Homo-oligomer: A and B are copies of this chain.
Amino acid sequence: MSAATPPITRLFNFVGSNAGPWLIDHMRSVVGEPIVTASRLSVVSGPVAQLPLETSWLLRGIASNERYVTREEKVALVSRQEGLGRKASTRAALIPIRKNSSWWALTQDERREVFEAQSRHIAIGLKYLPAIARRLHHCRDLSPNEPFDFLTWFEYALSDSVAFEELVEALWASPEWKYVDREVDIRRTHAEV
């Protein structure tokens, strides 16, 4: 591997501070304890060497194997999805969530039942592909004391802002969300002035 090719890592850091490429123009605590406000966001892969001086928070997550998707669903998702970093994707959201102990006490078949049979989580995401690109990061097994279980990062174009709102509202209304006991909604919804 050449020095110019950094190793691919599954670990991503979301740094909220007063510096970074992503403007934060909207932060809202949906349920549970809020996090402090920040005006800019950086997404950093791998270990973080140095934090901006005025860092408000650093949320870490790891891209991992999917826990519920079947092969048939995976084929449908892959055939429609597009990557992060599209030029037109000037809007973004970071939505950290934590699920309660009742969720984690469910068995695999019970969690799948709530996740898809009851909540259509995969079907809802599929409906908004390729418009809403996303990457899911797992936090729960990074350490025993992570503030959230999952971080989802979304990127989309201004013209898909309404679609994104529909997606989020569909998930909020789902039976799966009854298990969410902490959630923060961090957005870049407007253009830079």
Point out the residues of chain B lying under 8 angstroms from A109, CB to CB.
Answer: 70-71
The number of residues on chain A lying at the interface, defined by a beta carbon within 8 Å of a beta carbon of chain B, is 27
Q: When chains A and B are docked, how far (Å) is the Cα of A141 from the Cα of B10?
A: 9
On whether the beta carbons of A107 and B66 are closer than 8 Å, the reply is yes
A70 CA / B107 CA spacing, docked (Å): 5
Contact residues in B for A46 (Cβ distance below 8 Å): 144
How many chain copies?
A: 2
In the assembled complex, which residues on chain B have CB atoms less than 8 Å from the CB atom of A11? 143-144
Determine whether the beta carbon of B68 is less than 8 Å from that of A108. Answer: yes
- Closest-CB distance, A81 to chain B (whole angstroms): 15
CA distance A65 to B73 in the complex (A): 23
Contacts of A110 in B (CB 8 A): 71
Map CB proximity to B onto A126-165 as digits: 1 under 8 Å, 0 otherwise: 0000000000001011111000000000000000000000
The answer for the CA separation of A46 and B143 in the assembled complex, in Å, is 10
The interface residues of chain B lying within 8 Å CB-to-CB of A71 are: 107, 109-110
**Interface residue from B9, B66, B73 paired with A144 (Cβ < 8 Å):** B9
Q: With A and B bound together, what is the CA distance between A73 and B11 in angstroms?
A: 33
Query: Is A44 engaged at the interface, CB distance under 8 Å to the other chain?
Result: no
- Known A-B contacts: A62-B143, A62-B144. Give 15 more (CB < 8 A): A9-B144, A11-B143, A46-B144, A62-B141, A66-B107, A67-B67, A67-B108, A69-B107, A69-B108, A70-B109, A71-B107, A108-B108, A108-B112, A141-B142, A142-B142
19 chain-A/chain-B pairs, Cβ below 8 angstroms:
A46-B144, A62-B141, A62-B143, A65-B104, A66-B107, A67-B108, A68-B108, A69-B107, A70-B107, A70-B108, A70-B109, A71-B107, A73-B107, A74-B107, A108-B108, A140-B141, A141-B141, A141-B142, A142-B143
Contact surface of A with B, Cβ cutoff 8 Å: 9-11, 46, 62, 64-71, 73-74, 104, 107-110, 112, 138, 140-144
